[in-house]
Chain A
Amino acid sequence: MKARVYVSLKTSVLDPQGQAVRTALVGLGHAGVRTVRQGKVFEMTVEPGTDLDTIAREVLVNPVIEEYKIEYPR
């Protein structure tokens, strides 16, 4: 089955990359872009029953600075 793990910086953590992207977008005339936060996605194929929560917490994510969300797309 397919699984996706979205990882992003916690909202309390400064995201200078996202800010730089926003500055570029506004510079290109997309004045309506208020905020940009940059993250990453892990697209996985896993056997049913795979403990993605543990995988995310122990490997994919550094819980000190990041948070995550797991999705099972159809």
Chain B
Amino acid sequence: MKAGVIVFPGSNCDHDAWYALNQIPGCTAEYIWHENTSLANIDAVVLPGGFAYGDYLRCGAIAHFAPIMSAIKKFAAAGGPVLGICNGFQVLVEAGLLPGGLIRNAGLKFRCEEVRLRTETANSPFTANLARGQVLRIPIAHGEGCYYADDRTLDELDSEDRVAFRYVENPNGSLRDIAGILNAQRNILGLMPHPERACDPLMGSTDGLAILQGLLSAVPAAR
């Protein structure tokens, strides 16, 4: 099974994601430069954290025009699993693959610390290894992670069971404590916390591993 880690100029968690994925038995991760136009032979896609294009214009705004994004849209539309972490989540909302937006943290501070996340649904490949209500310890590292959407969108996310994770203690002002959401087809997950930084006992938590394993388990059997 092959996971593709997309690399934009300014990505800086690409190696962490690549390393964590390669530690999972049966998975080989490879980097995919943002100027590529194809995802041939790739079974799962990760948009890593960082500061793609220096966060110019808005976080993720320039990155979502990168050539690889058309391939990612096609891949996702065909049911391929896509995980956007931190800046990757910002790219996914800018691209319209996930609803809402991510704005400056309410407290204005860049928050870099471990947080507790409550699993809100097990009904997605990413969270299938978790139980609803299960609390994970996973680090965050962002200045613009305050999730915003209008009330109608928030109600829709709630009623369709598409909030994957909420913060136990809200670090950034995110509406309804949202830390991660799913698309309607449930094959795209975007979240601000960094599961790839919680995959080895050395890092203080291995709670992120279940999410990455979930990503890989989402690979359609036919692929």
- B108 x A16 contact (CB < 8 A): yes
- B103 x A13 contact (CB < 8 A): yes
Number of interface residues of B (CB under 8 A): 20
Which residue of B has the minimal Cβ distance to A38? B104
Which residues in window 121-167 of B have CB below 8 A to A? Answer: 146, 148-150
* Distance A15 CA – B148 CA, assembled complex (angstroms): 12
Contact with A along B75-102 (1 / 0, CB 8 A): 0000000000000000001100001110
- Which interface class (under 10, 10 to 19, 20 to 34, 35 or more) fits A? 10 to 19
Q: Does B168 contact A (CB under 8 A)?
A: no
Contact with B along A31-70 (1 / 0, CB 8 A): 0000000000000000000000000000110101100000
- 17 A-B pairs within 8 Å (CB atoms) are namely A9-B103, A14-B103, A14-B106, A14-B148, A14-B173, A16-B105, A16-B107, A20-B108, A59-B57, A59-B61, A62-B58, A64-B99, A64-B100, A64-B101, A64-B148, A64-B149, A64-B150
Q: Which residues of B contact A (CB under 8 A)?
A: 57-58, 61, 65, 93-94, 99-101, 103-108, 146, 148-150, 173
Q: Which residues of A contact B (CB under 8 A)?
A: 9, 12-17, 20, 59-60, 62, 64-65
